[in-house]
Structure 1
Amino acid sequence: MSTDHDIDRLQEKLATAREEIGKRIVGQHEVLEGLLVCILADGNALLESNPGLGKTTMVRTIAEVTDLQFSRVQNTPDLMPSDITGTEIIRETETGREFVFEKGPIFANVVLADEINRATPKTQAALLEAMQEKQVTAAGETYQLPKPFFVLATQNPIDQSGTYPLPEAQTDRFMLKLLLDYPEYDEEQEIVDMFTGDRPQVPVDQALTRAEIQEIQQLVREVPIADDLRDRAIQLVRRTREAEEIEFGASPRASMALVLTAKARAFLQGRTHVASEDIEALAPAVLRHRIILDFRTEREGRTADDVIESLIE
């Protein structure tokens, strides 16, 4: 059982980690908070943005500050499942030739699956087992992935050419869907100065170890949530199944994600209990990729976020 001293120590380390990440990443506070919440809640995140907004830098920086092994997969239409999971190769040994499993880039703590919707559905499915079961099966053998394990997938807006929409079963595996927007003018000035000046890339210090992240993941589950707040989260998810603007609502997995990420956000902000603001802040990210809008609602120009906002109110 963790003591109050342990909790305070880990919350202080988390605050330091956020400061370190902020040295290199300008703005994007909501997205960064969402990514950290996902790691603390032991979930996966889907990040939607146009190219060139610093997604790789952001994830690489988080990995550096938290001592997590980082790998990146660039998804393309010709990418094969074995390019992600690994493949068996023939290796010469003293006793002759034997098959050896060569691990793919999925064997890391933080895997950035860049432009996931440019890969074919078969390759997208190769990530499913890893995301849900934290393991990979290849040539009849099952291999456990390192702990902690976290997939951050990025996708281009759906209407871009050359994209394959993610199937509902896969989008449901992502705990949060985060939207990355263009920076403000003064933020863009700071970014340009930072990366075009004479100083090298800003160094960051490691603030958390892998063992501490796993300890926090356990503590997050112990954060108390009042029954009325838990019920409010469940009712919000259930409302997506009844709203006339929504054709398909969210599954119970969304209810679990909303409660767990609310606990993670409370812990990240240095609190020892969940507040209603945690549920309201995270509801759009938990639900926006889990609902399918009615045709008339889309024709009116309303987005999933607009509908979720009206459900919260």
Structure 2
Amino acid sequence: MSQSVMPSNSLGPESALSDDDVAAVDRLGKAHDRLREELGRVIVGQRDTIDLLLVCLFARRHALLMGVPGLAKTLLVSKLAETMSLKFSRIQFTPDLMPMDITGTDILQDNGEGRREFEFAHGPVFANIILADEINRAPPKTQAAMLEAMQEQRITVVGKGFDLPPPFMVLATQNPVEQEGTYPLPEAQLDRFMALIELDYPSEEEEIAIARTTTGSRLPSLEHLMTGEEIIAHQDLVRRIPVPEHIYVEAAQLVRKTRPAGGTAPDWLLPLVSWGAGPRAVQDLILGAKARAALDGSYMVRSEDVRSVALPVLTHRIITTFAAQAEGLSASDIIGRLLDETQ
């Protein structure tokens, strides 16, 4: 019988890890290093972005990538799917994209017996990793169809339900809302994404390396390092990572400080934020911290795990006021100050 490796008197609802789970965490930590090394063969830089994508994947959550065109978002996501032997599908969102273009629809087909019957043609959402490219260029009805699939992992077409294959992850890219032809995602829909991952321009050295890597011969094929079954097993493992009780308190208190109503926010924040993060943010902080701990080979969640995911988890859930914009303060600036005050 497996024995626990640590006392559980200070932990939350989870029990301490068994010996089998400890060995599984060790394997996941080693796999994390191999994944970063393999992706580094074709992706220059973006180490933090890769780590956050893996956190979202193993937390069984979705991510929103923000950045100007040309930062290799599509290449990064497709190569991530390649290293994990997963089916990858890219959906280019445009103003004329309809919900059925995503989910699929019934098509009238000849059944070979002289009769015609409706047959369901699966849409591109039937994959393991979906790249929803420029999701804010599609009209709200189409955005809602995609976000419903994310939430339920199931779609309904003409009254019939279809389950989407596990593991299932949506990585949506979003252009800055200042660009022409965009439809900003409503706050309730943004909340469905665990993390907002912001990509910046590469450094000069990285840009030279990108040019050298991508203008020569074909990009190398990457090694398949993990199967879908192994990913699902790792996702289940992440849920079992123990969390000390004080970590739950820290996560809840951090989220509550973002809310101007209720008397939990510091005085300096009140004129800067019109709406704070909701309860789902606490859930995602804990899940993200669990995934971060497991990927780092740690057997329980630490405060630094929560802090490492706090910025991408909370930034897109904060609505700033005109006063904050006038001062040049973004949501990430406000979250950063809250984290500095809680060190």
TM-score by length of 2: 0.89
Could you tell me whether the CA contact under 8 Å between 2:28 and 2:294 is conserved in 1? no
Q: Which amino acid aligns with 1:177?
A: L
Pair 1:122-2:149 in alignment: no
Looking at structure 2, the residues matched to 160 and 269 of structure 1 have their Cα atoms a distance apart, in angstroms, of 37
**Structure 1 residue 11 displacement after superposition:** 2.6
1:265-299 CA-partner distances (Å, limit 9, x unpaired): 11111111112111112111001111111221111
Give the whole-Å Cα distance in 2 for the aligned partners of 1:30 and 1:14.
13
2:341 is the alignment partner of 1:311: no
Q: CA deviation at 1:17?
A: 1.7
Q: Is residue 233–residue 255 contact of structure 1 (8 Å, CA) maintained in 2?
A: yes
1:226 maps to what in 2?
244
Indicate the residue corresponding to 1:289 in structure 2: 316
- Corresponding residue for 1:182? 201
Tell me the secondary structure at the aligned position of residue 74 of structure 2: helix
Compare 40-49 and 264-273 and name the one that shifted more. 264-273
Whole-Å separation in 1 of the counterparts to 2:203 and 2:306 = 27
TM-score (normalizing by structure 1): 0.97
Query: How far off is 1:18 after superposition?
Result: 1.8
CA contact 1:17–1:208 (8 Å) conserved in 2: no
Mapped to 2, the partners of 1:121 and 1:194 lie a distance apart of 38
Task: Tell me if the contact between 1:108 and 1:146 (Cα under 8 Å) persists in the aligned partners.
Answer: yes
Instruction: Measure the CA separation in 2 of the matches of 1:155 and 1:14.
Output: 26
Matching residue of 1:75: 93
User: 1:14 deviation in Å?
Assistant: 2.7
Partner Cα distance (2:171, 2:21) in 1: 32
TM superposition shift of 1:224: 1.2
Over the residues paired in the alignment, what is the CA RMSD in angstroms?
1.1
Distance 1:14 1:259 in 2: 20
Note if contact 2:128-2:168 (Cα within 8 Å) is conserved in structure 1: yes
Q: 1:240 to 1:12 in 2, by over 3 A?
A: same
SS of the residue 2:155 aligns to: strand
Matching residue's letter, 1:228: H
Residue aligning to 1:29: 47
Which residue matches 1:240?
258
How far apart are the structure 1 equivalents of 2:69 and 2:300?
37
Instruction: Determine which structure has more spread, i.e. the larger CA radius of gyration.
Output: 2
| Secondary structure class of the residue paired with 1:24 | coil
Question: Which residue in 1 is equivalent to 2:220?
Answer: 202
Letter in 1 for 2:218: P
Equivalent position to 1:39, from 57, 73, 76? 57
Select between 156-165 and 269-278 the one with higher mean Cα deviation.
269-278
1:134 counterpart (119, 129, 153): 153
Asked if 2 retains the 8 angstrom alpha-carbon contact of 1:10 and 1:212, the reply is: no
Structure 2 unaligned spans of 5+: 1-17, 261-268
Residues 73-112 of structure 1: pairs in structure 2 closer than 5 A:
73-95=91-113, 96-112=115-131
Supply the AA of the counterpart residue of 1:141: K
Deviations 1:11-45 (A, max 9, x none): 32232122111111110111111111000000000
Sort the Cα spacing of 1:3 and 1:285 in 2 relative to 1 into closer, same or farther, 3 A: closer
Q: Which runs of 5+ in 1 are unaligned?
A: none
The 8 Å contact of residues 135 and 174 in structure 2, kept in 1 or not, is answered as: yes
Paired positions, count = 312
TM-superposed CA distance for 1:203, in Å, is: 2.5
SS of the aligned residue for 1:289 comes to helix
Write out per-residue CA displacement over residues 39-88 of structure 1, whole angstroms, 9 at most, x where no aligned residue. Answer: 00000000000001100100011000011100000010000000001011
Shift >6 Å, 4+ stretches: none
For the 8 Å contact 2:67–2:198, the answer to whether it is kept is yes
Q: 1:309 to 1:3 in 2, by over 3 A?
A: closer
- Deviation of 1:255 after TM superposition, in Å, equals 0.3
Deviation at 1:141, TM superposition (A): 0.5
Distance 2:112 2:62 in 1: 43
Shift, 1:162, TM fit: 0.4
Confirm whether residue 254 of structure 1 aligns to residue 254 of structure 2: no
Percent identity for Structure 1 against Structure 2: 50
Distance, in Å, in 2 between the alignment partners of 1:75 and 1:239 is: 36
Sort the Cα spacing of 1:227 and 1:24 in 2 relative to 1 into closer, same or farther, 3 A. Answer: same
Structure 2 distance, partners of 1:228, 1:144, is 38
